[in-house]
Amino acid sequence: MLKGIKELVDLLLLWGFWYFGSFMIMVVAIVYFIKSNPTPIINHHYSTIEVIEPPKKVILEEEICTRIDGCRIIDNVCIDCIWGVSNRVVPIVVPLSNRQSR
């Protein structure tokens, strides 16, 4: 019976040694990897975006025929039109060569 208890104690000691040893190897490996890994250098790259202003709008006044049914045209002239003033908004587009550079 003492031989069985001795073998059981030996087995528990061996089991404890293996678990404790593997745990210590894991701790040493983690500490080694943390210490040997250099601190990363973080570079911030900023990009700039050129903002282009929207086209300016100008109000034009022009005379147009206000008849819904249309009018007779003789020799490219409207004879019996009813003329009215129309205000319409026209955008002015500036070519790229005339824009200010920043």
Q: Going by C-beta distance under 8 Å and a sequence separation of 6 or more, which residues neighbour residue 41?
A: none
Q: How many domains does the chain have?
A: 2
10 in any annotated domain: yes
pLDDT for 39-94, tens place per residue?
878 888 888 888 777 777 777 666 666 666 667 667 766 666 666 666 665 566 55
Read off the pLDDT of each residue in 6-11 and give the average, rounded to a whole number.
Answer: 91
Dihedral of alpha carbons 22, 24, 28, 34, sign: positive
Task: Give CA–CA dist 75/85, Å, rounded.
Answer: 23
Are 5 and 32 contained in the same domain? Answer: yes
Q: Does residue 97 surpass a pLDDT of 60?
A: no
- Cβ atoms within 10 A of the Cβ of 26, count? 10
Q: Is residue 47 domain-resident?
A: no
- 33: containing domain: 1-39
Specify if 50 maps to a domain: no
CB–CB of 65/81 below 8 Å? yes
Beta bridge partner(s), residue 94: none
- 51 located within any domain: no
Give the pairing type, strands 83-92 and 73-74: unpaired
Q: What is the pLDDT, as a whole number, of residue 44?
A: 83
When mean pLDDT is compared across 4-13, 28-37, 57-66, the lowest value belongs to 57-66
User: How many CA atoms are closer than 13 Å to the CA of 94, on its beta-carbon side?
Assistant: 12
- pLDDT for 57 equals 73
Residue 100 lies in a domain: no
Q: Is residue 46 part of a domain?
A: no
